[in-house]
């Protein structure tokens, strides 16, 4: 660590070390001093160091595999901070640092869980649960909740986040009266259900509780555990300013910039979220100064987040013909002209630009604008990155390669949505090729995987598992040709993620001179049956030479 | 209930100019919500309104409503002494989605959806690779269209998508133009998801038209919900015709070389047949 100079060398022995350095892919030991790697190899090969300097051998990982510290290059701490304080009752099992949340798959089970848990309010006096889904847990209503308890304020938030239901206690607590609510509105007062604009109204009433500073901090603290539990030593907040720029920066600085935090956070500002900026040029001037606020663990760099089309989960990605089966249309998040102009400002100033892109028409825009930028002012190694990479065409991926772009894919889309999107949204051909990662690797594009947590679990091994196996929630393989090898999968969540964040000279592989960031695994992800990759137990992480154990729960 | 008027339209259609014209002439204070998502807060500075009544919106999160600025602004403006709210949608907003605030938010009502159109660019936008469907939605979903900067004739494609068109030159008084609810029958039906039941027919001809016969036809035909267009009568006077459930109006207008009308009806009307003779 830079703070305290320690001349002692620590030599970690492992069953095997996966270095992700192609020149020396495997090793037995790695020597660390002052948070940096001196050398990796065998005890014999390290003798020139060890014969001249004091060292200790640390055997605690001798039965385990050491890989480079895992990297999630795109998640949203502020979103997570809102959701994590809620009580999870969901149809899928969630492995959390504080315990496994078992799957709740029936109506009666849901009601039982609610009964047990509602006595412990989550937000002041309010009890908020997240994860209800009609298909598993039956339709929710005010009367159903009242039958469980009508006095305590209970709020049941839908898994999709697009709807919630309140009991009498909650309506009274939040002072929502029938006389205030219109019949034409997206609020079903009788059933206590709030959706779309009705949901926005309910959230307005709930914001003092869910965005309360102490709740937000509790959420960020929980996220710290989640990130560690997932084996990550580097994450990127890929849109600072989602809720409130200053609050997000300050609370992360307060909670994460200390010796107890086992990871670093790369902060990427969302250009459009900077208050006080009237033009992109003014926003750029603000972003240019953000690195002045950098601390040891939290850093802004010369990078920016822009957006093209709507959310993938909400089916408002912009699609090329033939579009959605039901004929509905996607949405733009800004006009193509505005996107192009913002890109030009940052491109010409030499920024790395990360673009939220979900649909293939959205990608078409990103590709066209990048092509235009390359024509106007060519740049090499510019790092322009397509974030999410939902729908695409092989031809677009080819063009991205020619234009020098990177891809950061949310592979979990394929796992969770490909079955339902094949049947109800875009048909099998396009649903099975969402997250076209195999093509991306074949084109030689630097490709990484992200969770976009809470859109997917913050577990890089889970993302790797999906990209390697392409198995959807029904257990069916979708788009076999787009599967990648375990080697490529591990590259995606280590060295490639580091490249996409512009940190490959410091992290992402285990070699002399890099930071000593490791993830300690119970099994070898390159040797194990690929179907078991997601279940590999993570024993510990090492961040800049310091060991952080993961307590098994 | 405070009426909300949605001011929609693509980038450069003249939304800010329109809002400023209303604000310059209005006698009663209006709240203004400017939706800047994806853009930067440029428009807010261009709006000339009383202090504290203009809100700049930035719907930051793309997948949830946790930081819904529009809702927060409506809650905050609710108790101010205003006669209505102008909500400027972003250039890529789908008007019906924004209009849901007027329909859903307690304490507010929807006054109508106004879409502004730049006559110079509308036809190329309707063919644009990226935004053709967005611009189409903005036209089709509007209760009224204000056409800016157009030359000669109103583009036929625009008329076919929505015939409730006012040119900026036709608007005498901006506050009055949006004073009374202009929520159309079609709009209400849209919300009831019945819009597939409606057919659009058009009449384009050179013969002069008997205005009284046309009026009679429009008021006695139960299938026709709305009609709009321009005609020339036997005395060579040209008229702007506007018909909805509230009645039928003929407003004198500048000379038209031909008749052009659009009808929204539950059954198609075939003007090529003898029907046309009924009012020529």
Tokens linked to A278: 């009237």
pLDDT of B208 over the 90 cut:
no
Assess whether pLDDT exceeds 50 at residue B274.
no
Residue A163 CB partners (closer than 8 Å, separation 6+): A157, A193, A194, A195, A199
Residue A233's CB is within 10 A of a number of other CB atoms, namely 26
- Strand A26-33 versus strand A9-18 pairing type: antiparallel
- For residue B61, what is the DSSP state? -
Collect all residues from B whose CB is shorter than 8 A from any CB in A. Answer: 10-11, 36-42, 45, 58, 60-68, 70-72, 75, 90-92, 94, 100-101, 103-107, 128-131, 133-134, 137, 191
Q: Which two three-digit tokens encode residue A516?
A: 């000593």
CA distances from A114 to A14, A293, B82 (A): 45, 44, 44
Structure tokens at A291: 């690195």
Q: How far apart, in whole angstroms, are the C-alpha atoms of residue A451 and residue A227?
A: 11
Q: What is the mean pLDDT of residues A524-551?
A: 97
B16 compared with A232, residue with greater pLDDT: A232
Nearest CA in chain B to A360: B130
Contact assessment for residue B64 and residue B88, using Cβ atoms and an 8 Å cutoff: no
pLDDT for A380: 96
* Peptide bond preceding A454 in cis form (omega within 30 of 0): yes
Record the tokens describing residue A157, joined without a space: 């938030």
Does residue A483 carry a pLDDT above 90?
yes
Interface with B, mutate which of A75, A186, A335, A413 (most B CBs under 10 A): A335
Could you tell me whether strands B2-8 and B108-118 are parallel, antiparallel, or unpaired per DSSP bridges?
A: parallel
Q: How far apart are CA B13 and CA B91, in angstroms?
A: 9
Q: What is the largest CA-CA distance in chain B?
A: 61
- Contact present, A484 and A467 (Cβ < 8 Å): yes
In the prediction, which pLDDT does A2 show?
Answer: 45
CB B199 within 8 A of CB B267: yes
Cross-chain residue pair A197–B45, CB shorter than 8 Å: no
Within 10 angstroms of residue A58's Cβ, the number of other Cβ atoms is 15
pLDDT of residue A122: 95
Q: Is the pLDDT of residue B185 over 90?
A: no
Are A314 and B63 spatial neighbours (Cβ–Cβ below 8 Å)? yes
Probe site for chain A from B66, B77, B96, B195 (most A CB atoms < 10 A): B66
Tell me if the bond preceding B151 is cis, omega within 30° of 0.
Answer: no
Q: Enter the tokens of residue A458.
A: 């913050």
Q: Measured between alpha carbons, how far is A185 from A245 in angstroms, rounded to an integer?
A: 32
- pLDDT at residue B189 in the model: 46
Mean pLDDT of all residues belonging to chain A: 93
Residues of chain B with Cβ-Cβ distance to A208 below 8 Å are none
What integer pLDDT is reported at residue B62 of this predicted model? 54
Instruction: Using a pLDDT cut of 70, give the percent of chain A over it.
Output: 97
Asked if B106 and A182 come within 8 Å (Cβ–Cβ), the reply is: yes
- For residues B104-113, give the mean pLDDT: 89
The answer to whether the CB of A340 falls within 8 A of the CB of A369 is yes
DSSP A431: H
Among candidates A334, A328, A447, A468, which has minimal Cα distance to A392? A447
Determine the Cα–Cα distance for residues B146 and B13; give it in Å rounded to an integer. 9
Looking at the DSSP bridge assignments, the partners of residue B54 are B32
The Cα of A162 is separated from the nearest Cα of chain B by a number of Å equal to 7
Which pLDDT belongs to residue A227?
Answer: 98
Name the DSSP class of A477.
B
Residues 6+ apart with CB under 8 A from B67: A242, A243, A244, B59, B60, B61
pLDDT band, residue A231 (cuts 50/70/90)? very high
Reported as a pLDDT band with limits 50, 70 and 90, residue B44 is: low
Q: Which of A154-168, A342-356, B6-20 holds the top average pLDDT?
A: A342-356
* Contact in structure between A357 and A368 (CB atoms under 8 Å): no
* Residue A365 structure tokens: 């825009």
Beta carbons within 8 Å of A330's beta carbon, 6+ residues apart: A309, A310, A315, A316, A317, A318, A319, A323, A324, A359, A361, A362
Q: How confident is the model at residue B269 (pLDDT cuts 50, 70, 90)?
A: low
Q: Is the ipTM beyond the 0.95 threshold? A: no
Window A:57-86, CB contacts with B under 8 Å: 79, 82
Tokens 């209009």, residue located: B99
With CA atoms as reference, the chain B residue closest to A162 would be: B64
Mean pLDDT of the B11-22 span: 90
Interatomic CA distance for residues B98 and B3, integer angstroms = 14
Across the range A70-99, mean pLDDT stands at 92
Q: Is the pLDDT of residue A374 over 80?
A: yes
Q: What angle do CA A461, A465, A466 make, to 5 degrees?
A: 125
The pLDDT value recorded for residue B41 is: 43
pLDDT higher than 60, residue A521: yes
φ, ψ at A156 (rounded to 5°):
-110, 115
B238-244 and A36-41: which strand pairing? unpaired
Please check the confidence at residue B194 and state whether its pLDDT lies above 50: no
pLDDT in tens, A386-410: 999 999 999 999 999 999 999 999 9
Q: Strand A87-88's sheet: what is its strand order? A: A87-88, A127-132, A154-158, A163-166, A193-195, A187-188
Cα of A192 to nearest chain B Cα, Å:
15
Give residue-wise pLDDT tens across range B222-257.
777 677 778 888 888 888 887 776 678 888 877 777
Q: Residue A445's pLDDT is what?
A: 98
Within an 8 Å CB–CB cutoff, is residue A307 touching chain B?
A: yes
Q: 3-state DSSP: chain B helix, strand, coil percent, rounded to 5? A: 30, 30, 40
Tell me the backbone φ, ψ of residue B255, rounded to 5 degrees.
-60, 130
Structure tokens at A301: 């760099």
With vertex at residue B117, the alpha carbon angle to CA B24 and CA B78, rounded to the nearest 5 degrees, is 50
> pLDDT of A295-330, one tens digit each?
999 999 999 999 999 888 878 899 999 999 998 889
Residue B136 backbone class (left: φ over 0; alpha: ψ -120 to 50; beta: rest): alpha
- Enumerate the β-bridge partners of residue A165: A156, A193
pTM above 0.90, yes or no: no
* B203 to A84, A137, B233, B277: CA distances (angstroms): 60, 55, 15, 12
Say whether pLDDT at A275 is over 80.
no
Predicted confidence (pLDDT) at residue A71 exceeds the cutoff of 50: yes
Per-residue pLDDT band at A553 (split at 50, 70, 90):
very low
pLDDT level of residue B40 (50, 70, 90 thresholds): very low
Q: Determine which of B38, B94, B137 to mutate to test the interface with A (most A C-beta atoms within 10 Å).
A: B38
Q: What is the mean pLDDT of residues A22-33?
A: 98
pLDDT at B271: 60
User: Which pLDDT tens digit goes with each residue over B136-178?
Assistant: 999 999 999 999 988 777 888 888 898 889 988 888 899 999 9
How far is the C-alpha of A371 from the C-alpha of B130, rounded, in Å?
16
Mean pLDDT of A18-36: 98
A185's CB contacts (< 8 A; 6+ apart) are A197, A198, A201, B103, B104, B105, B106
pLDDT > 90: percent of chain A: 78
Chain B neighbors of A341, CB-CB under 8 A: none
Please give the Cα distance from A209 to A214 (Å, whole number).
Answer: 9
Q: Which residues pair with A18 in a beta bridge?
A: A26
Q: Which of A171, A245, A304, A332 to mutate to test the interface with B (most CBs of B within 10 A)?
A: A332
Query: Residue A390: exposed, middle, or buried by beta-carbon count in 10 A (0-12, 13-18, 19+)?
Result: buried
The predicted structure's pLDDT at residue B240: 81
Measured between CA atoms, how close is B68 to chain A, in angstroms?
6
Enumerate the H helices of A382-442 as residue ranges.
394-403, 412-424, 428-432, 437-442
Exposed/middle/buried for B129, CB within 10 Å: 0-12, 13-18, 19+?
exposed
Mean pLDDT score of chain B, rounded to an integer? Answer: 80
Q: What is the percent of chain B where pLDDT is above 90?
A: 26
Strand ranges for B172-253 from DSSP E: 199-205, 224-232, 238-244, 247-253
- Among partner residues A82, A311, A329, which is closest to B62 by beta-carbon distance? A311
Mean pLDDT calculated for residue range A366-384: 98
Of the pLDDT bands very low, low, confident and very high (cuts 50, 70, 90), residue B192 is very low
Question: Can you tell me whether residue B232 is helix, strand or coil?
Answer: strand
Contact by Cβ (8 Å): A233, A262: yes
Q: In angstroms, rounded to a whole number, what is the distance separating the alpha carbons of residues B181 and A332?
A: 29
Give me the residue from A197, A272, A314 closest to B101, CB to CB: A197
A210 lies within 8 A of chain B by CB: yes
H helices present in chain B, as ranges = 15-25, 43-46, 69-77, 95-104, 122-125, 132-140, 156-161, 174-177, 185-191, 211-220
Q: How many whole angstroms separate alpha carbon A25 and alpha carbon A273? A: 42
Q: CA-nearest residue of chain B to A211?
A: B66
- Taking each helix axis from N to C terminus, what angle separates B69-77 and B95-104, rounded to the nearest 10 degrees? 40
Higher-pLDDT residue of A543, B68: A543
pLDDT digits (tens, 9 = 90+) for A95-121: 899 989 998 989 999 999 999 999 999
């Amino acid at each position: 660590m830079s703070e305290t100079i320690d001349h002692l060398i620590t030599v970690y022995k492992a069953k095997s070390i996966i270095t992700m350095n192609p020149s020396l892919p495997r090793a037995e030991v790695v020597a660390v001093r002052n948070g940096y790697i001196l050398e990796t190899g065998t005890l014999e090969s390290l003798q020139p160091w060890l014969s001249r300097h004091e060292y200790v051998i640390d055997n605690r990982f001798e039965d385990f595999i050491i890989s480079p510290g895992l990297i999630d290059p795109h998640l949203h701490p502020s979103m997570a901070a809102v959701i994590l304080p809620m009580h999870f009752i969901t149809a899928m099992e969630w492995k959390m640092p504080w315990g496994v949340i078992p799957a709740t798959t029936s109506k009666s089970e849901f009601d039982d869980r609610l009964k047990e848990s509602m006595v412990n309010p989550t937000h002041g006096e309010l009890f908020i649960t997240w994860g209800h889904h009609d298909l598993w847990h039956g339709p929710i209503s005010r009367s159903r909740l009242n039958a469980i308890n009508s006095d305590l304020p209970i709020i049941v938030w839908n898994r999709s986040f697009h709807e919630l239901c309140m009991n009498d206690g909650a309506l009274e607590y939040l002072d929502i009266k029938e006389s205030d609510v219109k019949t034409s509105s997206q609020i079903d007062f009788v059933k206590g259900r709030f959706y779309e604009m009705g949901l926005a109204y309910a959230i307005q009433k709930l914001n003092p509780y869910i965005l309360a500073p102490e709740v937000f901090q509790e959420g960020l603290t929980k996220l710290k555990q989640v990130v560690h539990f997932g084996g990550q030593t580097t994450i990127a907040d890929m849109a600072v300013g989602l809720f409130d720029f200053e609050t997000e920066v300050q609370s992360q600085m307060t909670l994460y910039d200390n010796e107890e935090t086992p990871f670093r956070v790369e902060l990427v500002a969302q250009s459009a979220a900077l208050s006080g900026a009237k033009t992109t040029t003014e926003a750029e001037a603000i972003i240019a100064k953000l690195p002045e606020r950098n601390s040891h663990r939290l850093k802004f760099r010369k990078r920016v987040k822009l957006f093209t089309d709507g959310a993938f989960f909400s089916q408002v990605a912009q699609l090329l013909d033939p579009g959605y089966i039901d004929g509905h249309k996607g949405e733009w998040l800004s006009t193509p002209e505005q996107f192009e102009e913002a890109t030009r400002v940052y491109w010409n100033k030499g920024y790395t630009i990360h673009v939220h892109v979900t649909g293939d028409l959205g990608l078409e825009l990103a590709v066209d604008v990048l092509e235009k930028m390359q024509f106007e002012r060519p740049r090499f190694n510019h790092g322009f990155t397509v974030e999410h990479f939902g729908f695409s065409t092989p031809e677009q991926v080819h063009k991205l390669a020619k234009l020098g772009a990177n891809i950061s894919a949310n592979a979990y889309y394929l796992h969770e949505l490909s079955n339902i999107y094949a049947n109800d949204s875009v048909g099998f051909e396009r649903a099975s090729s969402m997250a076209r990662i195999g093509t991306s690797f074949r084109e030689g594009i630097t490709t990484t995987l992200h969770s976009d947590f809470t859109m997917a679990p913050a577990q890089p091994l889970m993302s790797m598992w999906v990209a390697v196996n392409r198995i959807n929630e029904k257990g069916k393989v979708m788009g076999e040709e787009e599967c990648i090898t375990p080697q490529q999968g591990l590259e995606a969540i280590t060295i490639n993620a580091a490249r996409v964040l512009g940190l490959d000279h410091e992290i992402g592989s285990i070699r002399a001179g890099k930071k000593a960031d490791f993830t300690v695994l119970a099994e070898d992800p390159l040797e194990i049956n690929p179907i078991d990759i997601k279940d590999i137990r993570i024993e510990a992480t090492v961040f800049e030479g310091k060991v952080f154990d993961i307590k098994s729960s | 209930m405070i009426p909300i008027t949605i001011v929609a339209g693509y980038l450069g259609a003249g939304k800010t100019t329109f809002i400023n014209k209303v604000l310059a002439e209005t006698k009663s204070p209006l709240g203004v919500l400017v939706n800047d998502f994806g853009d930067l807060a440029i428009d807010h500075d261009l709006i000339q309104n009383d202090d504290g009544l203009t809100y700049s919106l930035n719907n930051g999160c793309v997948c949830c409503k946790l930081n819904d600025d529009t809702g927060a602004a409506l809650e905050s403006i609710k108790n101010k002494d205003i006669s209505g709210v102008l909500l400027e949608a972003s250039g890529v907003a789908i008007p019906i989605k924004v209009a849901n605030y007027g329909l859903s938010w307690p304490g507010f009502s929807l006054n109508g959806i106004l879409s502004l159109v730049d006559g110079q660019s509308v036809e190329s936008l309707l063919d644009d690779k990226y935004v053709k469907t967005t611009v189409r939605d903005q036209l089709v979903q509007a209760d009224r269209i204000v056409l800016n900067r157009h030359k000669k004739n109103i583009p036929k494609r625009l008329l076919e998508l929505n015939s409730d068109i006012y040119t900026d030159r036709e608007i005498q008084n901006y506050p009055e133009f949006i004073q009374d609810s202009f929520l159309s029958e079609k709009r209400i039906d849209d919300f009831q998801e019945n819009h597939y039941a409606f057919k659009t027919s058009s009449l384009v001809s050179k013969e002069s038209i008997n205005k009284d016969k046309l009026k009679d036809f429009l008021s006695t035909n139960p299938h026709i919900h709305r009609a709009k267009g321009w005609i020339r009568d036997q005395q060579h006077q040209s008229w702007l015709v506007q018909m909805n459930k509230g009645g039928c109006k003929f407003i004198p207008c500048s000379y038209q070389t031909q008749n052009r009308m659009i009808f929204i009806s539950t059954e198609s009307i075939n003007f090529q047949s003898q029907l046309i003779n009924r009012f020529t």
